[in-house]
Chain A
Amino acid sequence: MKESNFPQPSSEQLASFREGDPLVANEIVELVLPSILRWAWTQYKLLPQDDVQDIVHQVLAEICHHYTRYDPGRVLFTTYVIGLLKLRLADLYASQQEIDEKEESGPDAYEKLLSLPYNDSEALDEDTRIVHEDFFRQVEEHLEPVERELFQLMRNDVKSTRAFAAVLVRYGSVSDEERDVKNAKARLMRKVTFIGKTLGYAPEDLQ
């Protein structure tokens, strides 16, 4: 198991925790909560602190309630907590983003979005469209899940930094939305270009 910078419960504490000992559960929460909460606040600066705190509380309460689900033989306690936290915080981030976008774009935004042609494919001639589709399919086979989702957004001509950031958050933390999205996009484009070259596509095939 990996080392951790977070304080860890002792093996005796974990054994008692797994038996549902309420006193030990409290000891463990007192041990890990401050450092985990500070970590979450630092990693998810874009989210309101109170919301992050609520999620941390919920996750810890659930872990204490379902104490048998945690297996000390598989991961460190704090790794387990953080794994659950990341999932919940990504959901929170996505909800927050949806609220922000609705506020920014006004009541007609969804209708406008639905009226947009998907990938503007009708504007392309059939041969070009087939080459593009074939290329994209082959590229996607070589991408990691996170890259695949980012690639889909780029193909759909999504401009919102927040939409890209929401994907990044689901796969890890985002400390600086603008910078992390810009870097991820640049990395992805380099990789796509490399894959294109490897597969024998000329840049003009993809114009």
Chain B
Amino acid sequence: MTQNRANGDGAPMAALPTDAEILQKWYTYAAGQPGSIGSLLQLLRFRQRKSEEQQQLEFEVSTADFARLQSMRAPRADRFHSDAERIAAACHVGQVFRFVQTLLLARNLAAKGQPTEGEVYEAAFDASASDQDGTEEE
């Protein structure tokens, strides 16, 4: 998975990573940045005491796509649903609705800060119902 290179003397130097390896490291880095989907999902994992693997299974997404998905910046506030759905489609998420709801929950949690787990769940699903009525303010 690496590309060898040579210096001027023809001696081998440290191997350069492939595009895939380079991008993999970027995904890991970007997922840890504030404002990324990874940081939102991490917040929720912490609150819900879930592992990354559990989330991945819930969304029905491959490991590679999950890494890519988490590296992306969170959906824009004024286009949250459409952005989230486009991201889900680009990353081949099986459970799109669940992913969008989870992201919404995480966003609310990040914005509001301190509510208990039960309250957060209710708030998210209330918000989702009002979204469908077109009454949510974002």
Question: Which A residues fall within an 8 A CB radius of B?
Answer: 20-23, 25-26, 29-30, 33-34, 37-38, 41, 49, 53-54, 57, 60-61, 64-65
Chain B stretch 81-132: residues in CB contact (< 8 A) with chain A: 83, 86-87, 90
- Contact present for B87 and A30 (CB under 8 Å): no
The size class of the interface chain B forms with chain A is 20 to 34
List chain B residues, Cβ under 8 A from A65: 33, 35, 73
- Chain A contact residues: over half helix, strand or loop, or mixed? helix
The minimal Cβ–Cβ distance linking B138 to chain A, given in whole angstroms, is: 14
A64 with B73: CB separation less than 8 A: yes
Q: Quick check: B26 and A23 within 8 Å, CB to CB?
A: no
Question: Do B26 and A29 touch across chains, with their CB atoms under 8 A apart?
Answer: yes
User: Do A23 and B23 touch across chains, with their CB atoms under 8 A apart?
Assistant: no
Contact of B87 among A23, A34, A64 (CB under 8 A): A23
Whether the Cβ atoms of B72 and A26 lie closer than 8 Å is yes
**Residue of A with least CB distance to B86:** A23
A residues in contact with B86, CB < 8 Å: 23
For A57, the chain B residues whose CB sits under 8 A away are 25-26, 29-30
Min distance, Cβ A57 to any Cβ of chain B, angstroms: 5
B23–A30 touching, CB < 8 Å: yes
Once bound together, how far apart are the Cα atoms of A72 and B35, in whole Å?
A: 24
Least CB distance, B109 to chain A, in whole angstroms: 19
With contact pairs A22-B72, A23-B72 given, residues A49 and B83 touching in the complex (Cβ less than 8 Å): no
